[in-house]
Structure 1
Amino acid sequence: MSALAIAGEQAQESTMAADLSTAVQRVKTILDRVYSPCAPGSGANWKPHAFDQSSANRRYLWSDAFGVCNCLSLYYATSANQEPQKQTYLAQADALIADVHDQLGRFRFRFGDHARLSWMFALNRMNVARQDPRYNRWAVQLAETAHGRFVVRDERDGRAVQLVWKMAVDLQHAEVDSEGNLDPMEALVIYRLLQRHSEGQEKPLQTEIAELERLMQRKLATLVTNDELDAGEALWLAQWAAELFDEAPWTLRLHHVALASLDAIFQRCRVRGPPNQRLLFREMGAVLGLQVGVLLHPQGGGIGGTEQERWRQRVAVLLRYWEELLYARDADISPLMYAAALLPGVWSPWQQPHT
C-alpha cells in the first residue's frame, strides 16, 4: 500500500474516532438531562428521574427500553482505559431496569405490544452485556405471560389470526384491537432472539414462535408502509431477522420493502416540512433503521457506494435538523430516540460483541 493510501486511511480512522467521541458526549448529555446526571463510579446510588412527576406511574416502557439500550451503547463505545465510566453506564442500565420492574407490577401500568417487545429486546441486550442469564429469563417470562393476551384467536379452532396493538391495564380486553403493521414480524424476531440466549435443552417460546411465523407470512405478503418510524423499524428488524433466520427469503423481502418505502418517503419530501408538521421520534426511527440497515451494515445494505452516500447525506441532514429541537415535544421518547439514532450501538446485530 502506498504512503498516500496509508495516510488516507489514517485520516479516515481519525475522523471516525472524532465522530464517535462527539456522539458519545452528546448521548451522555441527553441521558443526563432525561434521567439525571451520574458521576463515574456513583452508579450504585443513582436513580432515574420520573417522567411524570404528577403521576404515581414513573416510567414509560417504550422510552425506557431506549434508555437502557442507550446506556449499553455508551458502555461499548467507551474505551477500556475509562473503566469507572464504563461500569457506571452498566449500573445506570441496571438501575433503570430495577425502577421499571418496580412499576411493572403496579396497578395501571399500561403498555402496548410494541413497548413490551422493545423492553424484552433491552433486557436481552443487558443479558449479553452482563453475561447474566437472569435478564433474558425475565424477558422470556414477560413473553410467556403476555403473549396470549395480545393474540386474537379464531373461535372455531383456536388458531391465532392477529395480534392487538394495546391491551387494558388488567390484560382482560383490548383497548386498541387493530394490529400494528410490524407486530408479527417484531414479535417473531424478538422471541427468536430470546430463544437463542436461553439456557438448557428445552428452548422456550416454541409454540409462540410457530404462531408468529404464520402471522408474519400473512402480513408480509401485503406489507406496505408510508410512515418513517414504521419503515425504519422494518429495516432494523430485517437485519436481526437475517441474522436469526439465516437470511431466509422473507428477511430479504422485508429489507427491500423497508428501504424502498424510506426512499419513497424522502422522494415525497415527507421529511422536509416545518417542525410543527413533523415528529422527531418518527424520523429518528427512520434514521436508526438506515444506520443499522445501510450505513453500519458490513455489506452496505446490499446497495452501491453512490446510493450509500445518498443515504448518509439524508441521515446527516435529519440529525442536524433536529439537534436543537430535541425537547420541543417531550422530554423522553424524542431525545432518547435521537440518541439511539446518533449512536446505534446495541441496536445493530454487528455492533455488540456477542449477538
Structure 2
Amino acid sequence: MQKTDLDSVKEIMLDFASSTGLEPVKTNPQRYLWTDAFAVCNFLELFRQTDDKTYLNLAFQLVNQVHHTLGKHRADDPRSGWISGFDEGEGELHPTKGGLRIGKPLSERKNNEQFDESTEWDQDGQYYHYLTKWMHALNRVSQVSGNPSYLRWAIELAQAAHARFTYAPSSSSQKRMHWKMSIDLTYPLVFAMGQHDPLDGFITYSELQAAARNFKQLSEFDLSNEINDMAGICRGQSMVTNDSLGIGGLLSDASRTAQLIVHGFSYNNLLKTIIGSSLPCLGSFAAGNSLDLPAEYRLAFRELGLSIGLKGVEKLHGLIKENPDLFNNSLRQQVESLLRYKPTGEIIDQFWITDENRKYSSWTDHKDINMVMLATSLAPDEFLRI
C-alpha cells in the first residue's frame, strides 16, 4: 500500500468510528451489520499495517457494540434483552446464538402483515448474507488476537443461522433457504433464496471449520453437516449475475476457495465453477459501460464490492503461482483472463475517492457503507484472508 492509501483508510475509519458512536461512545450507536463486518476487517488491517493497538481495540469495541446492539431487541420493540431469549449472563457468554439483527431503521414486518416491497428494504430482521459476513469478521478477530472466543461466537452463529434459514420443502428432498428472517428467527420475511447465499454459506462454514483446527478449545465443534447441506443446496444453482456487488462476491469467494484448497480442502472443482461463472459476468459488466454514467446514477457500495473482488483475483493469482502442484494450467489461464479486468477496480476506486463524486444523494444516502467499503477496497488484505 502506498502511504496515501493508508492515510485515506485511517481517515475514513476514524470518521466512521466517530459518526456512528463507536468512539467516542454514544448512548444510541448506529450499528448496521454488513457495514460493521467490513469495518472490523478494516480496523484489523490498519493494526496489521501500523502495529498501533488503537485499531485493534477499535475492532474489539465494534464487535462488543454490535453484539450488544444487534444481538438485542430494538428500543421500539415491546420485547427486551437478547433476541436469543437468554438471560443477561447466558447472553453475554453466547451473544450470537440468536443471530443478529440487520440494523434497519424500521421495525420488522409482523407475521400477519402484508408484504410491501417498497418498505421491506427499510424494515429490520435478519439477512443470511449479512450473518456470514459477520462470521468471517469474527474469525479474523480470532486469528489476529489469538482469542478463540470470537471464533466460537462465529461457529455458534453459523449453527443458529443454518438451523433457521434452511428448510426442506415438502415437494423436494433438496433443502432450500429463506433470504430474510424475523428478528427472533421464528418466521420468514422473504421466502425467496439469495442467489449466492448457499455458496457463501458453504465457503464460510468451511473457513470456520479450518480455523477451528488451530484451537484445541474448539475441538468439539463440527460443521460437517451444515457444510454438506450447503453443498446440496448449491448443486445445480447458477452463479451467473449481472450485479456488480454479486460479481465482486463471486471473485472474493474464488480467493477464499483457493485459500481453503491450500489448507487441504478438495474444492478444485468448485473453484473452477466459480471462475468459469465469473468470466462472462465481468464481460457483460464491461460491455454495459455503467462506469461511464455520472455519479448520481451509480451506487458506490455495489461497484466497490466488485473492486474488492478484483483485488481478490490478484490474491488468487499469487496463490496459484506459489502452489503450482495444487492448481492446473487451465485454471491459471482462466485467472489470468480475470486479471485483464484489474484496471476496472482501479477506475472504481479513483472515481469514488474523488470528493466531487461524493456530493450526490447516491453517495450521501449510503455514506457509512460507501465509505467503509471504499476503505476495504483501498486496503483489502484482511477482508480477503480466511
Per the shorter chain, which TM-score range?
A: 0.7 to 0.9
2:349 corresponds to 1:319: yes
2:376 corresponding residue in structure 1? 340
Equivalent residue runs for 1:199-214 within 5 Å? 199-200=215-216, 201-214=219-232
Residue 212 of structure 1 aligns to a residue in which SS? Answer: helix
TM-score normalised to structure 1 length: 0.80
Amino acid in the other structure paired with 2:317: H
d(CA) in 2 for partners of 1:190, 1:48:
32
Structure 2 partner of 1:194: 208
Tell me the number of residue pairs that the alignment of Structure 1 and Structure 2 aligns: 312
> What secondary structure, in the 3-state scheme, does the structure 1 residue paired with 2:235 have?
helix
Q: Percent identity among equivalent residues?
A: 31
Decide which moves more: 168-177 or 89-98: 168-177
Out of 107, 121, 143, the residue aligned to residue 158 of structure 2 is 143
The aligned runs of 1:85-100 (5 Å cut-off) are: 85=52, 87-100=53-66
Q: Which stretch shifts more, 197-206 or 62-71?
A: 197-206
**Residue 68 of structure 2 corresponds to which residue in structure 1?**
102
Match of 2:314 in 1: 294
Contact 1:72–1:93 (CA under 8 A) maintained in structure 2: yes
- Could you tell me which residue of structure 1 aligns to residue 270 of structure 2? 250
1: distance between equivalents of 2:370 and 2:39? 11
Q: Quick check: 1:234–1:254 contact (8 Å CA) kept in 2? A: yes
User: Is the CA contact 1:23–1:343 (under 8 Å) kept in the aligned structure 2?
Assistant: yes
Amino acid at match of 1:223: M
How many angstroms apart in 1 are the aligned matches of 2:365 and 2:171?
46
1:227 alignment counterpart: 243
**Equivalent pair of 1:238/1:251 in contact (CA under 8 Å):** yes
Deviation of residue 295 (structure 1)? 6.3
SS of 2:175's partner is: strand
Pair 119,309 (structure 1): closer, same or farther in 2 beyond 3 Å: closer
Counterpart of 2:105? none
Which piece of structure 1 moves more, 265-274 or 279-288? 265-274
Q: For residues 60 and 295 of structure 1, what CA distance do their matches in structure 2 show?
A: 28
Alignment-derived partner of residue 237 in structure 1? 253
Whole-angstrom CA distance in 1 between matches of 2:144 and 2:315: 23
Query: Are 1:131 and 2:146 an aligned pair?
Result: yes
Is contact 2:168–2:175 with CA below 8 Å preserved after alignment?
yes
Query: 1:305 and 1:218 mapped to 2: Cα distance?
Result: 23
Q: Report the Cα offset of residue 262 of structure 1.
A: 1.6
Counterparts in 2 of 1:329 and 1:207: CA distance versus 1, 3 Å: same
Question: Match of 1:27?
Answer: 9
Aligned-partner SS, 2:364? coil
Which whole-Å deviations, capped at 9, do the CAs of 1:65-105 have from their partners, x for residues lacking one?
A: 01101101112222xxxx4x2x1111000000010011133
Cα separation, partners in 2 of 1:162 and 1:305, compared to 1, 3 Å: closer
Q: In structure 1, give the amino acid aligned to 2:302.
A: R
1:330 deviates by: 2.1
Contact residue 48 and residue 95 of structure 1 kept, 8 A? no
| CA deviations over 1:24-47 (Å, ceiling 9, x no partner) | 11011101111129xxxxxxxx73
Q: Could you tell me which of 36, 40, 43 is aligned with 1:64?
A: 36
Contact 1:184 1:216 in 2 (8 A): yes
Corresponding residue for residue 303 of structure 2? 283
2:139 and 2:151 in contact (8 A); partners too: yes
Q: Distance in 2 between matches of 1:251 and 1:113?
A: 22
> 8 Å contact 2:314–2:339 — kept in the other structure?
no
Cα 1:186–1:313 change in 2 (3 A) is same
Tell whether the 8 Å contact from 1:167 to 1:174 is kept in structure 2 after alignment.
yes
The range that moved more, 257-266 or 179-188, is 257-266
Equivalent residue number for residue 234 of structure 2: 216
**Mapped contact 2:43–2:58 kept (Cα < 8 A):** yes
Q: Distance in 1 between matches of 2:151 and 2:162?
A: 16
Cα distance in structure 1, aligned partners of 2:338 and 2:198: 29
Displacement of 1:337: 0.7
Question: Residue 33 and residue 57 in structure 1: after superposition, are their counterparts in 2 closer, same or farther (change >3 A)?
Answer: closer
Q: 1:162 to 1:57 in 2, by over 3 A?
A: farther
- Structure 2: runs of 5+ lacking an equivalent: 75-100, 102-124, 322-330
Paired with 2:269 and 2:249, the residues of 1 have a C-alpha distance of 18
How do 1:165-204 residues align onto structure 2 when only pairs under 5 Å count?
165-198=179-212, 199-200=215-216, 201-204=219-222
Equivalent position of 2:175 in the other structure: 161
Q: Distance in 1 between matches of 2:316 and 2:211?
A: 24
Unaligned runs of 5+ in 1: 1-18, 38-45, 350-354
* Contact 1:66 1:336 (C-alpha < 8 Å) held by counterparts: yes
Q: How big is the shift at 1:229?
A: 0.3
Alignment partners' CA distance in 2, 1:63 and 1:122: 11
Secondary structure of the residue aligned to 1:197 is helix
Take 2:292 and 2:204, find their aligned partners in 1: how far apart are those partners? 33
Residue type of the alignment partner of 1:185:
L
